[in-house]
Structure 1
């Protein structure tokens, strides 16, 4: 049996910065909004992609960097998986476009679309593919996010959205690597936050566009328990399934949407703060990309080393949640 092992990681951050000081000017009716949200979320700035860039461009740039860091050629990649809820199109998939832009001419492709839990879900799927297909030696897994393009910039929620992408190359090896995964979901929250026109329920039309239903909207706030209880449950689930304890984990990476939530979850799990890593301060909330971006940044800062046990916990609208555990 082969195990998916992390061979390399990379990020792509666009060049145009949008700090809180500039964003504050967009909300004159609530001059304290940005300051209050910064205190709760930890977000100080975010970055915007150029107007001619699509999600596949962000994904391709991160993917190319990860392939180069692995010392490979694009043709060495067997599968390209892109996790995103801001795709280029409804169809074709963003992954097939990304693979073409990278030059991964020998790769099969597919998208994973479970919002901000897409990356740990994709990591788990890639691990299963490697365990059951000996021909898959290298799989490129990318999380990419361009939700700002699908948002109303006057909407208060646009405070969060940062553009970016994170990527990893997974290599099939004879020892872990991948240890365990867990998934959670509750579709009763599906009407609370999303993009509600442009699919089969309501195809995009002039009325939908005029009403803003082709843009991302938060219609109801999720209760704090969704993450404050859901994330600890996922941690316990991956520990139980992987037959290790919480104390064995060297690094936890959580969805980077709200720093206070991460603080509460770490306290609930009785884990020292030094065992997690946050990047929302410098990159904003990059949704489907935030977990691989935070993972790469933690590795760059030497917060984990070869042989360490890492747990990734993702949470997104729908709601969908996912956790994955692996050894570096």
Structure 2
């Protein structure tokens, strides 16, 4: 029997501490009055109106565990039934060990292997493709837990850096299980490493270990150095949709729903028009939860499912784009 990875449950976690645009603008105004004006421009282009921050005693793994619990409950399984945990994040608990092993311990998934995926917002679709592939080729594997988690505000100078406007904390998760019906349909991947100097945390690793000087200068914090050109997503996302459709032998008009990286609503609108799909086949959460980075795709997917926008039989395409930059798309036929 052909085995396909099938999504059988989803969940999300949103922290409780809300930071509205009004509050953020106040912070920026204390640094420079012109930065407060930028907040209004960002809101107009992104549709982000608020975001939520985790408690100071929480780490990324804590957010991931809460989303995992919700997904496992939705799937009707226990942590003991998880064979593998794939965690996508670019705000890890530590440089090493992997955050996924911390999640395994906190979740109590004692039988699960784990690994991290570190391609920012492309991590969740990458994790779905990896999980589905492992299920299809390993008869012993029954349940794979794929998580996206983000706590970037903790790694930012968030009361002084206006780019922190975008960062909201959160986590989302999905449970994959084998099925004789797809399930997983196809995937597509792309990267352009020439953009690696544009946005990141550039001190604290082996290229530039942390020192007193670079900590004091803010180099161990996340920084936008050079903005990405709009065509990275405006042109890249339609290409990934067309590639995943070609790889899966389906036409774009067969797509029932698309989940994108949740950073700018106007980009989603532009891309849906470019590929000829109605905007009603997309969903967005940045207006109510901010840009939740590595977590935004699973959070948006879970929200759309729970709102009844995605149903059994639907062909759903995920398109993620992360700093580096990485892009990934994956298509699933919903069985539940």
Asked whether the two chains share a fold, i.e. TM above 0.5, the reply is yes
Distance in 2 (alpha carbons) for counterparts of 1:85 and 1:107: 22
Equivalent residue for 1:292, pick from 290, 298, 301: 298
Distance in 2 (alpha carbons) for counterparts of 1:22 and 1:198: 30
Displacement after TM superposition at 1:83 (Å): 0.2
Q: Tell me the secondary structure at the aligned position of residue 22 of structure 2.
A: helix
Distance in 1 (alpha carbons) for counterparts of 2:198 and 2:24: 25
Quick check: 1:204 aligned with 2:210?
yes
Displacement after TM superposition at 1:70 (Å): 1.1
Q: Pairwise CA RMSD of aligned residues? A: 0.6
Distance in 2 (alpha carbons) for counterparts of 1:68 and 1:326: 21
Residue-by-residue CA offset, 1:237-259 (whole Å, 9 max, x unaligned): 00000000110000001100111
Q: Tell me the secondary structure at the aligned position of residue 298 of structure 2.
A: helix
Distance in 1 (alpha carbons) for counterparts of 2:75 and 2:225: 42
Q: TM-score, normalised on structure 1? A: 0.99
Task: Determine the structure 2 residue equivalent to 1:15.
Answer: 16
Structure 1, 99-108 or 26-35: larger mean CA deviation: 26-35
Distance in 1 (alpha carbons) for counterparts of 2:77 and 2:306: 20
Distance in 1 (alpha carbons) for counterparts of 2:213 and 2:327: 33
Q: TM-score, normalised on structure 2? A: 0.97
Q: Number of residue pairs matched?
A: 328
Displacement after TM superposition at 1:301 (Å): 1.1
Residue-by-residue CA offset, 1:196-244 (whole Å, 9 max, x unaligned): 0111000111111011111000000000010011100000000000000
Task: Determine the structure 2 residue equivalent to 1:187.
Answer: 193
Matches for 1:1-328 after TM superposition, within 5 Å = 1-28=2-29, 29-30=33-34, 31-153=36-158, 154-328=160-334
Q: Tell me the secondary structure at the aligned position of residue 180 of structure 1.
A: strand
Distance in 2 (alpha carbons) for counterparts of 1:84 and 1:118: 7
Residue-by-residue CA offset, 1:100-132 (whole Å, 9 max, x unaligned): 100000000000000111000010000110011
Displacement after TM superposition at 1:36 (Å): 1.1
Residue-by-residue CA offset, 1:264-289 (whole Å, 9 max, x unaligned): 11111111010000000010000000
Distance in 1 (alpha carbons) for counterparts of 2:238 and 2:71: 30
Displacement after TM superposition at 1:168 (Å): 0.5
Distance in 2 (alpha carbons) for counterparts of 1:277 and 1:179: 21
